[in-house]
Structure 1
Amino acid sequence: MNREQMIESVKAQMPEKRWQHTVGVMETAVVLAERYGEDPARAELAAILHDVAKYWPIAKMEQIIRDQRLDFSLLAHDKQLWHSEVGAWSAEHEYGVTDQGVIDAIRYHTSGRVGMTKLDKIVCLADYMEPGRDFPGVDRVRELSGESLERALVAGFDSTISFLLSKEKAIFPVTIEARNDLIQQLREAE
């Protein structure tokens, strides 16, 4: 499947507003990749597919997680996390993506993970701060993204965690671990 066919397929699976978000993530991921020395084509590919499963029925996502033996721990957490795991599966099995780094960047774009690769960081951050995003703190994340992927992601995770705490929602442990790992990376770089 070529790039244009992939774009048309993904676009057909979501509302126009979400597609505009995806375009913003694509553009932001390419800019960040160029700034931080990652392959822009890989960043764009992950961005194209990052929300491919976002609007799939919850029952379909749950079935794929169970049938394909994906990360069962997600089932105990917010359903908003499921699309990243299912999207990674779709990228590989329905779109023929063979680059494990791209698949992982899709898988971890909502939660992060310990040991995030540069591509993981770029796609996660691009999703968080693309130009269509407008919420308290996003401008600070954009500003930090010019200095450090790690500092920008910590600020993004802090904002997300604070929001979830204010709503008395559970926090996916992988996100806390990812944040702490980024803090450690920043300390070691000092």
Structure 2
Amino acid sequence: MSRPMNRRQDNHKISRELFVLTYGALVAQLCKDYEKDEDVNKYLDRMGYDIGIRLIEDFLARSAMRKCRSYSETVDVIAQVAFKMYLGITPSVSCSNTTENEFFLMLDNNPLVDFVEELPPGRSSLCYCNLLCGVIRGALEMVHLAAEVTFVQDRLKGDDVTEIGITFPKRLEVKKHKRNK
């Protein structure tokens, strides 16, 4: 008996839809548990951070990535490899300053909001997808890169695009190793 070739893709899609629906239920429950949006945002960020510090091992093992030499290379890997691997999307990347330590990921399609049309009433400061910021921050910290990760724009709040800002507070030092003779 043979299996259809596209069965794995169907399972991936079902898993993604299940994750998105489960995430929506989680955010809805957090909104019931916490009165303030800031508390929900902090909880989602912390949850994402915990996921990120564990997810980086899987990412490094599955992607066989080499060490990035610059912040821009790091952000490109996040956008082109990690987002594609785990969410099936590839955000575009832009750098906003000359010191090359501040970047923006523009998500044309955010799979976490596939079944969400708008924020709950009275929750205008809720950052629905704040989990993503925590995941990125946690994963970067595990490879010894401190970063501030925030949502700059969000389609759920009426913006034209969903945009995540990543700022590296320290200038990246490229160490040159001396060869032993």
TM-score, normalised by the number of residues in structure 1: 0.29
Q: If each structure's helix is expressed as a fraction of its own residues, which one has the higher value?
A: 1
Larger RCO: 1 or 2 (CA < 8 Å, sep 6+)? 2
Larger strand proportion, structure 1 or 2? Answer: 2
